[in-house]
Each structure stands twice: as C-alpha cells, then as structure tokens.
Chains A and B, each alone.
Chain A
Amino acid sequence: MGVAIRQFWQLVRKEFALEFRNRVSLGAVLLFVVCAAYICYKVFITINGLAWISLFWIILLFAAINLIQRTFNASYMKRRWNYYTLYDSTVVYLSKYAYNLFFMGLVSVLLMGVMSLFFGNMIKDYPMFLIGLSLGILGMTGVMTFISAVVMRADSNGLLMSILAMPLCLPVLLLSMKVHAVSLRLIQDTAVTGDYLLLGGVDLLIFGIGLLLFPNLWKA
C-alpha cells in the first residue's frame, strides 16, 4: 500500500513536471474555454439562467474532451512505454485521474469566471454550486479518462473519443445541471440532497468500474 502511494505521487509529480515544461496543450484548452465563452457571448449577448447553466456545461464538456483525450495519447505512450511498465496499472490510472481532475478543476474555475464576466454572475448559492460542480467534474473526468484509455487501443482516434464519451457523460451532466439549476434558484427543490447522493453514487460507480476494467486495457 505504502509503495503504491509513493508510486502514485511519483507519477503525478512526473506528469506535472512534463506538463509545465511544455505548456502549449494546457494553454490551448484554457484559450478554448475563453474563446467558446466569448463566441457564445457575441451570439447570445444576454441569456437567462437556464441557458447559463446549459452553456456552462456544454463548454465544459467540450473542454474536457479536448483536455483529456491526450491522456493516453498513443504516440506519447509509445515513447514512454518502458517508463510506465515500471508501475502498477491501477497506480497509472489513479495518477492520470488525479492529474486530469486537477486540470478540470482549473478549467472549470476559469470558465466560471469568464461566464460571470460576460453574462453576469447568476450564482445564488455558492456552496451548492461548487459541490455540484466538483461532483460533476469527478464523474466527467472518470468517464473521459476511461474512454481515452479505450481510444488509445483504437487505430483511428480522431472523432472516436467524442462519440464514445459524450453519450456516456450524459447521466452525470443531467444530474449536475439539475443541482445547478437549484443553486441558481431556477427551480425549488427540497430533496436536492438526494440528487447530491445520487450524483456521488454515479461518480463512485464510474470511478470503480473504470478502475476495475482499466488493467484489461493496459496490458499490451
């Protein structure tokens, strides 16, 4: 167990070191978020609360696809294959998951700021909004990380990532949008705790099943 934790931190540190040595891809995703929000602003100018949430999650979804599809980038993995074989597959999955989660958090906070800047701040209940956001990101990252591992094995991985991941993200997306609608006071819901539990359950399910199945994808 101790070895696994040490390996995990080692891998995460390595990922971050690599990321910050070459900041192009992360910068591209951050710029993507700003551009998408700006285009939406120029198209819609003013929007209501429901459209705010929908835009927020749609932009986040596409940013996630762009961000996470290079997690198990085929050529990158091939180059560093010998390095990764030193580690247990579960540890690799966990480190990739944690790394993606961190950047998804970064992207979503940036998106929150940009959306508030362009369309006005519509969030009424911050704790609720943030809990919903983090649970949504947990689930989305879980699905995308697993799917990017699936796509790693496919011969052509251009559009495959999006068509595989988008429908699978839907349960998480719908549940977190519902929680967010409550946090923007668009709907009254007294049973919102149940929604949180459900969202957390779905996240746990996605995480667990991904962890369970990943070794099958990893073994060459």
Chain B
Amino acid sequence: MKYWWWKIAAIVIFCYVLLAGMLTPLKPGIQSIDNTKGILGEELVVGVTGYNSYFGSALQNRAFLKLSDDKVIETHQITERGDYKADLRFNLPDHLSTGKDVERATLIINNEVDGSLILPNAILLKKEDNTKPSDKQWGQFNVNELFKADRFRFPYRNQLNETIRNTFFHVAIWFAMFILLITALVYSIRYLITKDLLLDTKAAAFTSVAIVYGLIGLATGAVWAKFTWGAFWTADVKLNMAAISVLIYMAYWLLRSSIADVDARGRVSAAYNIFAFVIMIPLIFIIPRLTDSLHPGNGGNPALGGEDLDNTLRMIFYPSIIALSLLGVWMSNLTYRYQILVDNEIEE
C-alpha cells in the first residue's frame, strides 16, 4: 500500500476526469442567428438557434439588445419554436445616441431555466439616410431583474462548443509533459553533481515518456485544430515551437544511443538535457508571446483564464494534470526498472 497508493490515485483521478469531463453538460448558448444586420428605426426580426437551451419549456423568456449598460432595448415579442429555436422581434430606436452611425450590439436571452445566453457583437446596427423617426428609446439595463442559473456546467464558447472539454486532455498533457521534463532536468543536474549512473537512467526514462506525451499533445492538438481552426496543422507559433521541442528531445535519444561508454553517455546527455531545457524556455514561453497566435495567452489573446478557463473547468483541469503526471511517473518508473534490468544483464 505504501508504494502504490499514488498509482491508485492516478487511476481514480483519471476516471473522475473522464466522467466529470464528459458528463457535465455545457451551459446553454446561442449557436447561430439568421440575421446580423439591423436598420435603426425599423423592426428587427432575428431567428435564434440555441444550444442546450430550453426556450420552449421556459415560461418567462426575455431578450435584449445591448450596446452598453444604459442602452438596452427589450423585445416586444418572442415566438418559441421548440426548445432550440425562437424568433425575436425588436422595435429599434432611430438613433444610437453615441454619435456613431454604426455599432455592434450584444444579444442576450434570459429565462428561468437557462439563465442568460449571451452572444457578443451579434448584430450590426446601422443608420440609413432615410431613417424613419421612432419614439422608441434606449432603456436602462437592470441585471438584478434577470434570472440566474448557477448549475455546475462548462462555459459555452462559439466555435469551441463541446471541444472545450479537450482542455482536460490536450492542455493537461502539455502540462504533464513539462512536469516530466522538469523531473528529468532535476535528475540530470543531480547526476552531474553526484555521478550516480542510476540518476542518469532515471532522467532518460522520464524524457522518453515526455516524448510520448509530446507526440500525444501534437496529435490531439491537430484534431482539435481541425475542428476549430479548420486545418490539422497551422503556422501557429506555439504549435510549431512545441513540435521543435519534441524534435530536440528526440535528438537527445539519438545522442544517447550513439555513445557506447556509460560514463561519457551519462555526462554528455545530462549536459545536453540541461542545455536543451534552458533553450526551450524562450522557445515556448517568450517567442509565442511576441507573435500572433491562435492559442490563448499569446499575441494579445487573453491568457489561460477568463472565459477560456473558468472555475468549473479548473475543477477538472487541475486534477487532470495531476492524473496524467502521475501516470507519466508510473510509466517512467517501469521504463527505468526495465533499463536497470538490461544494464545488469550487460554487466553480467
């Protein structure tokens, strides 16, 4: 029990990640709208398609077009067609009162079952030359009047949809890979200090599992990219930097296999491991921040956090990192024990 409790923990936590990560539904969201242009002073009709929504079952549907907190108009009529479809009708005012002729408005739908469904920058409001005068005015927005639905659900993001769950696997495996690489680095440094060959073997085992994790990260990333960005492989910086770091560690393995003498192999590969890790830091953490990237946290995109990683996601994301790291340690441990057997064989 003393030696394998963490292996059980890895399995249990990973099962929790799979179950909670796959069974928790997404928050309701607005999947698409059939009209994105509204002319001021006229009636705007928008057909909305919701995702995971309950328009039909809810009794008190309300919808708003919002420019800012004190410039909001409410629908005068909502026609629900089932749980997922609804037609909204707005009587638009004849001015934007910001001095501009064109502005994007946010669409908000609220009912007692779903809470609020928000689609930012949904509708382009435009002033035409022959705008008819209308007595309709922009109103105040009262957040307290809205219904709230605080259930445990993952955030709904357009374009991402259900693939937001990939955070628990794709992002977590990169974190786990990094933890394994740091462990290998520590073993390499300790090897250079103590010259204990077992430490070098350990560093090699951790690196080999980290390479497998890196390949998994690249493959899963390719699938995720296909369904959100449209291509398996893009020119995205972070993707290519990650691919390069996998190459660097594959070269580490090639280097190890090309040196026969055990002591020289240990010293050289430990030195290369430390050197490569130090160079990888600007590669992964600094350069992606300088250039535009599709990944969150780079080139002006919001970092991990905000709406990409809210508290509900965190409750599964962090355990996932722990589970995958423990699995990686377990696999490295097996590789290490195998290598020790092989080395003993050679000595005999």
Partners in one complex: yes
- B254: A residues at CB distance < 8 A: 160, 163
B8 at the interface (CB under 8 A from A): no
Cβ B271 vs Cβ A202 within 8 A? no
Cβ A146 vs Cβ B248 within 8 A? no
Bound CA–CA A205/B279 (angstroms): 8
B146 at the interface (CB under 8 A from A): no
Q: Which one of A4-12, A24-32, A129-137, A150-158 is at the interface?
A: A150-158
**Distance from A151 Cβ to chain B, minimum over Cβ atoms (Å):** 8
Cβ B271 vs Cβ A217 within 8 A? yes
Q: Which one of A41-49, A50-58, A111-119, A167-175 is at the interface?
A: A167-175
Cβ A154 vs Cβ B259 within 8 A? yes
B192 at the interface (CB under 8 A from A): yes
Cβ B248 vs Cβ A167 within 8 A? yes
Chain A interface mostly helix, strand, loop or mixed? helix
B22 at the interface (CB under 8 A from A): no
**Distance from B196 Cβ to chain A, minimum over Cβ atoms (Å):** 14
* Closest A residue by C-beta to B273: A213
Contact with A along B250-274 (1 / 0, CB 8 A): 0100110011100010011011101
Bound CA–CA A219/B290 (angstroms): 40
**Distance from B193 Cβ to chain A, minimum over Cβ atoms (Å):** 10
Cβ A213 vs Cβ B276 within 8 A? no
Cβ A168 vs Cβ B275 within 8 A? yes
**Distance from A191 Cβ to chain B, minimum over Cβ atoms (Å):** 9
Bound CA–CA A50/B158 (angstroms): 36
A209 at the interface (CB under 8 A from B): yes
* Closest A residue by C-beta to B264: A153
Cβ A171 vs Cβ B258 within 8 A? no
Contact with B along A205-220 (1 / 0, CB 8 A): 1100110010011010
Number of interface residues, chain A, beta carbon within 8 A: 29
Residues from 275 to 295 in B contacting A, C-beta threshold 8 Å: 275-276, 278-279, 282-283, 286-287, 290
**Given A150-B268, A170-B244; A163-B251 close (CB under 8 Å):** yes
**Given A163-B251, A171-B279; A217-B267 close (CB under 8 Å):** yes
- B259: A residues at CB distance < 8 A: 153-155
**Given A168-B248, A216-B192, A217-B267; A154-B258 close (CB under 8 Å):** yes
**Given A167-B244, A168-B276, A209-B278; A216-B283 close (CB under 8 Å):** no
Cβ B258 vs Cβ A143 within 8 A? no
* Closest B residue by C-beta to A170: B244
Bound CA–CA A209/B278 (angstroms): 8
Cβ B255 vs Cβ A164 within 8 A? yes
- B270: A residues at CB distance < 8 A: 216
**Given A163-B251, A167-B248, A178-B290; A156-B258 close (CB under 8 Å):** yes
**Distance from A113 Cβ to chain B, minimum over Cβ atoms (Å):** 30
* Closest B residue by C-beta to A191: B290
- B186: A residues at CB distance < 8 A: none
- A198: B residues at CB distance < 8 A: 282, 286, 290
**Given A155-B259, A167-B244, A209-B275; A202-B282 close (CB under 8 Å):** yes
Q: List 18 A-B contacts (CB under 8 A).
A: A143-B279, A150-B272, A154-B259, A155-B260, A163-B251, A167-B244, A168-B248, A168-B275, A168-B276, A174-B287, A175-B287, A202-B279, A205-B278, A206-B278, A209-B274, A216-B192, A216-B270, A217-B267
Not counting A209-B274, A213-B275, A217-B267, a sample of 15 additional A-B residue pairs whose C-beta atoms are within 8 angstroms of each other reads A150-B255, A153-B268, A160-B254, A163-B254, A164-B272, A167-B244, A168-B279, A195-B290, A202-B282, A205-B279, A213-B192, A216-B267, A216-B270, A216-B271, A217-B271
Closest 6 CB pairs of A and B: A213-B271, A153-B268, A154-B258, A171-B282, A167-B248, A167-B247
